[in-house]
């Protein structure tokens, strides 16, 4: 694959977003290519090979819907597929639509500069390649730039340091003494899996998570066929739903339920996994009292699951349920009951140093052959900011976003013409079944490029006023929910220390309608020339 070319579009990233974007643009007759830093397709599912990694939205829903034949033919083996199976699926997609011939692997986009004279993007890669393209499409992932923790002395450690999002399959942790940091979705999965074969595991937790049992299981005979019989209808419901799930939120508020009925509803939701619990009541993410009833129930489940009362206390969150990403667990609380696992709350026991072979706190020393970091991502913006992107007048995207990321519809940034972000800040993507959002973003961008071609337009750019109004709306909607109540990666921080809530919480369906309305009105809020 050449790493230099003159094209209609360059797509950065070969995950769910980039693969579909390439397929879609090819179908519409545009010349397009993908540049991918990894050596294979899959994005999230290529990089996150840590033990226990799997999705927490049922695979029959967490998958592409754009080709009815693909969704009918692909067979999932489990309710929630493990990383390897999702990667096989994306490998299959790449082969099925012959995508690899237009993907440059092991190549990182380092810079993209808008050329005013030609109205095109000049893109550079770390392999010395360069692309001259009309459109730049960032399919770089909202959760793809790993975040390293600020741990004093980490550079002195002589064992292996593994981040869950850059996992090295060749490292064998069997029987080893491991210190693990982070108890979000990744950490919860990794701790449960590692606890079964490491010698000793010390889990350093900062903020506890609410974790719902995944109740994962093989798909039973006939179950998949039955689900596929109404696939089209279910996909359509998901596209117009609040969170991108086929099942809508259950009606009613927890506040109006009598205790026995409340318990029954919550047990039912709890057993349906994270999507079930988030859907337990229609006001769960909006009403403090309703949320607290569900949160209290979830806290009770933690107390029941964890034998040591002090560990149970440390593991109990105090923020509204769902205001940080709800986690899915398979054996996490069981792991903490094991003799080879101990829990350290770093808010009560501060990490003061890391030496060649140990993590030192202000209370004790914990030996380590390896350190595992499940410390998350520079979410929503990290992968974009890692590229030297310069728009009109040479303005740098990092400077433009220093006061908070801004993107009209989460898709385009004023001052950066002909640039699109898939799952950008201000889109609902990370607060939904992300594949549903990705398909919407990709289809909207493809439609926009087709409409421009049909009307003879060469440049599209978001109006600064429309963008500002969109970000104001994103914030306004977030403030009507309980999301801002927790400290989470949903929030970005401005240079002057202000929080900016990044995802659009107004719902996948409402967002889709807004995007379609704007396109139908001749791209209202954009300048076209
Ligand atoms: P990614 O899959 O992140 O792909 C982006 C690609 O861009 C990467 O391969 C990266 O290498 C490449 N890239 C970035 N910058 C550059 C550059 N400068 N040059 C070249 N290449 C570059 N979502 C759900 O809805 N349900 C789930 O159950 C779920 N589970 C998840 C589990 C894990 C462990 C993680 C981390 C995320 C999960 N997500 C889940 C979110 C998940 O990220 C999305 O669902 C989806 O996979 C994102 O696809 P994407 O193509 O947009 O981005
Ligand atoms: O990252 P996170 P993640 N000492 O940011 C802690 C998706 N996903 O990779 O919050 C101790 O959630 C940090 O603490 P705090 C999903 O969208 C899905 O787990 O900063 N701890 C936090 O607890 C998810 O939300 C699945 O106080 C330290 C943790 O590290 C997103 O990806 C699986 C620390 C990071 O949690 C990100 O999840 C995996 C320190 N010094 C991922 N520094 C599914 O199952 C940080 N932390 C679908």
Give the per-residue pLDDT at 123: 98
Give the per-residue pLDDT at 490: 96
Please give the Cα distance from 13 to 138 (Å, whole number): 7
Q: Which of 121, 142, 126 is nearest to 32 (CA)?
A: 121
Burial environment of residue 340 by CB neighbours within 10 A (0 to 12, 13 to 18, 19 or more)? middle
Q: What is the pLDDT of residues 346-362, one digit of tens each?
A: 999 999 999 999 999 99
Reported confidence tier of residue 494, pLDDT bands at 50, 70, 90:
confident
Element of type H or E holding 527: strand 526-528
pLDDT at 497 over 90: no
Reported confidence tier of residue 493, pLDDT bands at 50, 70, 90:
confident
Q: What is the pLDDT of residues 364-389, one digit of tens each?
A: 999 999 999 999 999 999 999 999 99
**Cα angle, residue 95 at apex, residues 100 and 36 outer, rounded to 5°:** 30
Q: Which ligand is nearest to the CA of 86?
A: 1
SS3 for 245-270 is CCCCCCCCCHHHCCHHHHHHHHHHHH
Distance from the Cα of residue 387 to its chain's centroid: 19
Out of 3, 10, 14, 15, mutate this one to test ligand 1's pocket (max ligand atoms within 8 Å of CB): namely: 15
CA of 33 to the centre of ligand 1 (A): 18
Give the per-residue pLDDT at 1: 63
User: Do the Cβ atoms of 48 and 166 come closer than 8 Å?
Assistant: no
* Residues above pLDDT 90, as percent of the chain: 95
Give the per-residue pLDDT at 473: 97
The residue whose CA has the least distance to atom 36 of ligand 2 is: 184
Q: What is the pLDDT of residues 27-36, one digit of tens each?
A: 999 999 999 9
pLDDT at 17 over 80: yes
Q: Which ligand is nearest to the CA of 181?
A: 2
Once rounded to an integer, what is the mean pLDDT over residues 320-337? 97
DSSP 165: G
CA of 526 to the centre of ligand 1 (A): 28
Which ligand 1 atom minimizes the distance to the CA of 50?
34
CA of 8 to the centre of ligand 2 (A): 37
Once rounded to an integer, what is the mean pLDDT over residues 238-256? 92
Cα dihedral: 477, 479, 483, 485 (round 10): 180
For the chain, what is the mean pLDDT?
96
Task: Say whether the ipTM exceeds 0.90.
Answer: yes
Q: Which ligand is nearest to the CA of 163?
A: 2
Once rounded to an integer, what is the mean pLDDT over residues 7-26? 98
- C-beta of 183 in contact with ligand 1 (< 6 A): no
Q: What is the pLDDT of residues 74-113, one digit of tens each?
A: 999 999 999 999 999 999 999 999 999 999 999 999 999 9
pLDDT at 2 over 70: no
Q: What is the pLDDT of residues 121-176, one digit of tens each?
A: 999 999 999 999 999 999 999 999 999 999 999 999 999 999 999 999 899 999 99
Give the per-residue pLDDT at 500: 93
> Which positions ≥6 away from 138 have C-beta within 8 Å?
12, 13, 383, 384, 387, 419, 420, 421, 422, 424
Q: What is the pLDDT of residues 180-195, one digit of tens each?
A: 999 999 999 999 999 9
Please give the Cα distance from 424 to 431 (Å, whole number): 12
What pTM did the predictor assign?
0.97
SS3 of residue 179 by DSSP:
strand
Rg (CA), the chain: 23
Please give the Cα distance from 17 to 93 (Å, whole number): 12
CA of 185 to the centre of ligand 2 (A): 6
Q: What is the pLDDT of residues 413-442, one digit of tens each?
A: 999 999 999 999 999 999 999 999 999 999
CA of 324 to the centre of ligand 2 (A): 10
From residue 125, give the alpha-carbon distance in Å to each of 3, 133, 143, 174, 330: 8, 14, 21, 39, 40
Once rounded to an integer, what is the mean pLDDT over residues 207-236? 96
Element of type H or E holding 163: strand 160-163
Reported confidence tier of residue 505, pLDDT bands at 50, 70, 90:
very high
Reported confidence tier of residue 397, pLDDT bands at 50, 70, 90:
very high
């Amino acid at each position: 694959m050449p790493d230099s070319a003159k094209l209609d579009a360059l797509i950065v990233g070969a995950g769910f977003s980039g693969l579909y974007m390439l397929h879609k643009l090819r179908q519409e007759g545009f010349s397009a290519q993908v540049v991918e830093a990894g050596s294979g397709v899959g994005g999230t599912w290529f990089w996150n090979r840590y033990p226990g990694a799997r999705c927490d939205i049922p695979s029959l829903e967490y998958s592409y819907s754009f080709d009815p034949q693909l969704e009918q033919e692909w067979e999932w083996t489990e309710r929630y597929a493990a990383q390897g199976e999702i990667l096989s699926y994306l490998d299959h997609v790449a082969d099925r639509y012959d995508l690899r011939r237009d993907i440059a692997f092991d190549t990182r986009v380092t810079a993209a500069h808008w050329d005013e004279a030609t109205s095109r993007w000049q893109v550079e890669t770390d392999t010395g390649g360069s692309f001259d393209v009309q459109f730049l499409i960032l399919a770089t992932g909202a959760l793809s730039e790993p975040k390293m923790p600020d741990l004093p002395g980490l550079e002195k450690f002589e064992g292996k340091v593994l981040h869950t999002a850059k996992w090295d399959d060749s490292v064998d942790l069997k029987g080893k003494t491991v210190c693990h940091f982070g108890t979000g979705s990744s950490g919860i999965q990794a701790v449960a899996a590692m606890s079964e074969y490491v010698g000793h595991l010390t889990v350093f937790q900062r903020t506890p998570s609410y974790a719902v049992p995944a109740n994962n299981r093989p798909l039973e005979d006939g179950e998949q066929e039955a689900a596929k019989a109404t696939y089209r209808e279910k996909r359509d419901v998901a596209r117009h739903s609040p969170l991108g799930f086929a099942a809508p939120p259950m009606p009613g508020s927890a506040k109006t339920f009598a205790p026995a009925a409340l318990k029954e509803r919550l047990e039912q939701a709890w057993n349906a996994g994270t999507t079930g619990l988030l859907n337990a009541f229609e006001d769960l993410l909006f009403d403090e009292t309703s949320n607290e009833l569900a949160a209290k129930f979830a806290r009770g489940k933690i107390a029941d699951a964890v034998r040591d009362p002090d560990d149970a206390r440390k593991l109990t969150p105090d923020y509204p349920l769902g205001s940080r990403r709800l986690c899915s667990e398979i054996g996490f609380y069981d792991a903490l009951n094991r003799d080879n696992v101990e829990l350290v709350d770093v808010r009560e026991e501060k990490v003061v140093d890391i030496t060649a072979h140990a993590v030192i706190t202000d209370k004790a020393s914990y030996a380590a052959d390896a350190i595992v970091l499940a410390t998350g991502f520079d979410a929503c913006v990290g992968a974009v900011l890692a590229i030297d992107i310069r728009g009109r007048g040479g303005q740098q995207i990092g400077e433009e976003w220093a006061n908070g990321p801004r993107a009209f519809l989460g898709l385009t940034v004023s001052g950066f013409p002909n640039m699109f972000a898939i799952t950008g800040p201000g889109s609902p993507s990370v607060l939904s079944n992300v594949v549903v959002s990705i398909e919407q973003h990709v289809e909207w961008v493809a439609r926009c490029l087709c409409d421009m071609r049909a009307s003879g337009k060469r440049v599209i750019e978001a109006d600064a006023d429309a963008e500002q109004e969109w970000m104001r709306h994103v914030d306004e909607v977030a403030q009507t929910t309980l999301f801002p109540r927790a400290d989470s990666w949903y929030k970005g921080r401005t240079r002057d220390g202000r929080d900016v809530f990044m995802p659009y919480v107004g719902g996948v369906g409402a967002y889709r309608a807004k995007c379609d309305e704007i396109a139908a009105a001749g791209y209202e809020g954009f300048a076209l020339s």
